[in-house]
Amino acid sequence: MDRGTRRGAAVALLAAAALAPTAAPAASDAQAQALGKELTPVGAERAANKDGSIPAWNGGDLKAPGGWKPGQARPDPYAAEKPLFTIDAASADKYKDRLSEGQLALLKQLKGYRMDVYPTHRSCGYPQQVYDNTRKNATGAKLAANGFDLGAAVSGGVPFPIPENGAQAMWNYKMHWVGEGRTERYSTVFSSPGDGKFVPLVQDQLTATPLGNIAGKPVTEGDGIEWSVLNEVVTPAARTGEIILIHYYQAKDNDAWLYFPGQRRVRRAPTFAYDNPVPGYENLLAVDQYPMFGGRLDRYDWKLAGKQELIVPYNTFRFNNQDAKLADVFGADYPKRELIRYEAHRVWKIEATVKPGQRHQFPKRTIYLDEDTWAMVAVDNYDAQGKVWRVQESYPYVAWELPACVYQGYVVYDLNVGRYMADNMPQEGKVDWLAGREGRIDMKRFNPDELRRAGSR
């Protein structure tokens, strides 16, 4: 079989999988043979697109620039490049086939909003162990009998590199590899239309990601936790010392505990899931919008609508500069447009609609997953009238120390109230992507008793 025939067969397998009825099993042996050949080791199409605007994948740009060390601000390896073109309100319709409905709404509703589009670099890749674990999962992973929880897989890899349905693709997002855990100091910005002034919410956070264990452990081992967060407010002074602990589980609703210094006690949050608002986030973020999406899949039907080419933030080293000042990055209505790099990439499109008998403030969501990483790069959330309400985008870059493509920050635009929030932003902060691997996270801290002790200090 020649190269063209093999590629055609691989693409046909992908198309058949995307259109197949909902099914729990992983890929067949025949499908899995394409991994590392016509497909990348995590399931993306290796070849370039027809017009060459999306190049072939050649392993990623995983080597750090000379002299750079973890903990330092990241240099932009593509800093010398100029935009190929710019999309604004006047030209939006020309590029609508490569834009989401939410992106079109931002371009047309926000005065001066634009997207500077640069040459595409398929810079993302992973360690060989992630590829090995993904290969095991390709024929061994499965969904639970309910069709939305994870039934079997090994950690440290993509569970369904050749997905058959939307729930499988969402688990690929939930398990896209970002290491074994991280620590960070980050800022959250709540926009103030008009004068543009804001007081950032600064937080210290520990994130444990047991499903990122690169040793390839069965996900059924352990306590069923998908990931955990321990977060403490640093500023503003009125909120200093507030602490929240959250456990996101594989097959049950989240648990969360809150500590407020003024009350000097820990209380369990009665409901910290789905469309409940995140406390202290000015009603601009639902719990399951963090970070981009978090929580169980049980309230939606997840349709895998196939692939498309989309212009999305990518290789956003300049925007993620930890040495930058927040005031120089975030404006009244949106982040400074010249700082955000957009590229054309292939994405998986997932259409989520609320199941009959269930409820959610977003009856419909359209989700876009980058094919090279399974990271969530854009989301359009719709209101009950079917109009785009909240638009989200993330800002991937290569963390050479892992190596992996990651994102910390993400932005949520609320078109109904005319505001945006930027969360987990690294400017004036820091992040340690190796903290879990190198033992700088004490797992004993992720329990309510430790929360009580931490609050009493």
137-195 per-position pLDDT tens digit? 999 999 999 999 999 999 999 999 999 999 999 999 999 999 999 999 999 999 998 88
CA distance to 81, 149, 166, 365, 382, per residue, from 352 (Å): 37, 15, 8, 5, 10
The predicted pLDDT at position 101 comes to 98
pLDDT score of 265 more than 90: no
Q: Is the pLDDT of residue 24 over 80?
A: no
Look at residue 7 and tell me whether its pLDDT is greater than 60. Answer: no
By the 10 Å C-beta count (0-12 exposed, 13-18 middle, 19+ buried), 450 is classed as: middle
Taking only Cα atoms into account, the Rg of the chain, rounded to an integer number of angstroms, comes to: 21
Contacts of 237 (CB under 8 A, 6+ apart): none
Write down the mean pLDDT value for the chain: 93
With contact defined as beta carbons under 8 Å apart, do 51 and 145 qualify?
no
Contact 393, 387 (CB under 8 A): no
**Cα(142)–Cα(126) distance, integer angstroms:** 22
Q: Provide the 10 A C-beta neighbour count for residue 1.
A: 8
- pTM for the predicted model, two decimal places: 0.93
What is the distance between the alpha carbons of residues 161 and 14, in angstroms, rounded to a whole number?
10
C-alpha to C-alpha distances, 211 to 52, 138, 143, 219, nearest whole angstrom: 35, 16, 15, 7
Model pLDDT for residues 92-123, shown as the tens digit of each residue:
999 999 999 999 999 999 999 999 999 999 99
The strand pairing partners of 330, in sequence order, are 335
Mean pLDDT of 4-21: 45
pLDDT tens digits for 347-357? 999 999 999 99
Q: Is 195 helix (H, G, I), strand (E, B) or coil?
A: coil
Q: What is the pLDDT of residues 54-65, one digit of tens each?
A: 999 999 999 999
